[in-house]
Structure 1
Amino acid sequence: MALPPQDERTMPAVVLSDLDRRPLDHALVELHALTEQYGYVVVVCSQATPEPVVRRLYTLRSLLESDRVALFRPELPPLGIAVLARQLRQLASCDLSPGVLASAGRLLTHYIHAGAVLGSVARLDRVPVGLKAHARSWVPGSQFAVLAHPEPQLVRLAPGATLKGPEFGTWMLVAKGQAQSDWVAGLASAWNVHGLREAALPAESPVWWGTGRVVEFCSYLADLSVLYQLVTSVRQTSCHWCGLDVIGDRCVFCSATPPAPEPPAPRALEQRTPA
């Protein structure tokens, strides 16, 4: 799901739709054209993306024989994925190199708090669920609040129930599916968010959460200057394989990690002169 621009500088999104249903050569021409137009392409997709689509993405990247296409699948719920993709689109208007921009995604995930209000946790396998919660999910009218990232939390909705949130100022985005709940508005107040906005529920959300009775929410950093300061404050290194400037311990484009440090050379045995 491509969210609308956060500000006038946000770069437009390109949605690679129906990859597993379109002819391979059509999808290949599209991705090749994007690579030639922009130089580098970062494909952000959810862990709930159907496996045929993921296989097609790797096939396309392989056929292009190019390290200029990065596939990034962070462990975030679908709404969090959409928010992260928009943050990268914001940063794409800045003077960041392709390697730094792509690897910034891993950094920014640490500042995203993503969860949902669920009508059932019987099929939830992304967050640890105890036996009691499983049993209570069969009680009519039961609802649960779940935080999937950055630290898993699960509580049954009741007076005073809450989730631990960010310790810094954020905005919150809410997407409603087949469920309705005013609890998220109270959570936004408890988290002292700057504002609350609504969006459509991503198509992959019912699969990710295991139910269509879901109200998904995500708190995030919205200000471009804050995002830019976060990314540029991290030390940059050059990938030893492809040469791109990156942050973190892995290049998103070629997947190379820094080589292991060489063990120190053994010290020569000292010869002692007998007394």
Structure 2
Amino acid sequence: MPTAIAVTSADLALPPQDERTLPAVVLKDLDRRPLAEVLAEVLGVLEAHGHLIVVHSAAAPAAVERRLHTVRSLLETDRIALFRSELPPLGLAVLARQLRQLASCDLSPGILASASRLLTHYIHAGALLGSVARLDRVPVDLKAHAKSWVPGSQFAVVAHPQPQLVRLAPGAAAPTGPEFATWMLTAKGQLQSDWVTGTLAPAWKAQGLRETPLPAESAAWWGTGRLIEFCSYLPDLSVLYQLVGSVRQGSCHWCGIDVIGDRCVFCSATAPPSAPRHQLTSG
């Protein structure tokens, strides 16, 4: 049975990318529902799917993260992986959908959970903002802050993989984008502009362009509701599968599950340091 992929709000469960994309489990209102109700829901998911990977935002309320850890602790199970991501909301939703695509393949739960860190490196996430006065997740210099108060100012900001901030002006170059073929997903807030679709998408050589409703957390994440969020990503399941399969795999030294990299997403154990090599000498 396929591993379940969960998100913490319905707007992070994007429509399927292809016919094999599995539905997302939506663990909504974790910090407001009774604990017993949440426990029963998660237990039902585990009984139906065997393992559960929860993708949640580092910007989510602290109460949500506490509830996730409480549930895993009370259920006393090593079949729940909690992946806390620094991606902006739209990028987080894209990552969760990529995992839902891969969940249809013959990947073990540990490899699928480890793929969350790997795939994050190939996501370019940002937003067009009407103000950076309250932006605190990307470095903003005093000059940009000052210009943010000028009526009509707009800023192209990339939060991942490398922070970039460009004030839109005649002749200004677009932020640096991916060096590989991607699709672009956009989500409009209260800002009216065709810069993302008319300028950025061609500059980044996007092979496809789609739009989705703006996630509820986006305005708080970017510090303004006057925005258009964008994300470039790898859409094809075959490419995602090949990417994950090309990375060296191992086993967690603590729980024994298959992993990619030096940290297990299920038990959080890190690989022990390599034993020092001692040169043999004859007496």
- TM category (shorter chain) comes to over 0.9
The whole-number CA distance in structure 1 between the counterparts of 2:66 and 2:279 is 47
The whole-number CA distance in structure 2 between the counterparts of 1:258 and 1:246 is 10
2:88 aligned residue: 77
- Matched residue SS, 2:212: strand
1:81-109 superposed Cα distances (whole Å, 9 cap, x missing partner): 00000000000000000000000011111
Does 261-270 or 100-109 show the bigger shift?
261-270
- Using structure 2 for the length normalisation, give the TM-score: 0.93
Indicate which of 206, 210, 229 corresponds to 1:197: 210
Question: 1:51, CA displacement in angstroms?
Answer: 1.0
One-letter amino acid of the counterpart of residue 15, structure 1 = V
Does 159-168 or 191-200 show the bigger shift?
159-168
- Using structure 1 for the length normalisation, give the TM-score: 0.95
The whole-number CA distance in structure 2 between the counterparts of 1:187 and 1:179 is 16
Question: Which structure 2 residues correspond to residues 150-165 of structure 1 after superposition, within 5 A?
Answer: 150-161=161-172, 162-165=174-177
Question: Which structure 2 residues correspond to residues 104-119 of structure 1 after superposition, within 5 A?
Answer: 104-119=115-130
Runs (5+) with no aligned partner, structure 2: 1-11
2:157 aligned residue: 146
1:273 aligned residue: none
Count of aligned residue pairs for this structure pair: 270
2:114 aligned residue: 103
Structure (1 or 2) with the larger CA radius of gyration: 1
- Matched residue SS, 2:165: strand
Question: 1:266, CA displacement in angstroms?
Answer: 7.9
Runs (5+) with no aligned partner, structure 1: 271-275
Decide whether the 8 Å contact of 2:59 with 2:86 is kept in 1. Answer: no
Indicate which of 206, 214, 222 corresponds to 2:227: 214
Distance 1:265 1:2, change over 3 A: same
Is 1:257 paired with 2:270?
A: yes
1:245 aligned residue: 258
One-letter amino acid of the counterpart of residue 198, structure 1 = E
Indicate which of 215, 235, 239 corresponds to 2:248: 235
- Matched residue SS, 2:53: strand
Question: 1:269, CA displacement in angstroms?
Answer: 8.3
One-letter amino acid of the counterpart of residue 28, structure 2 = S
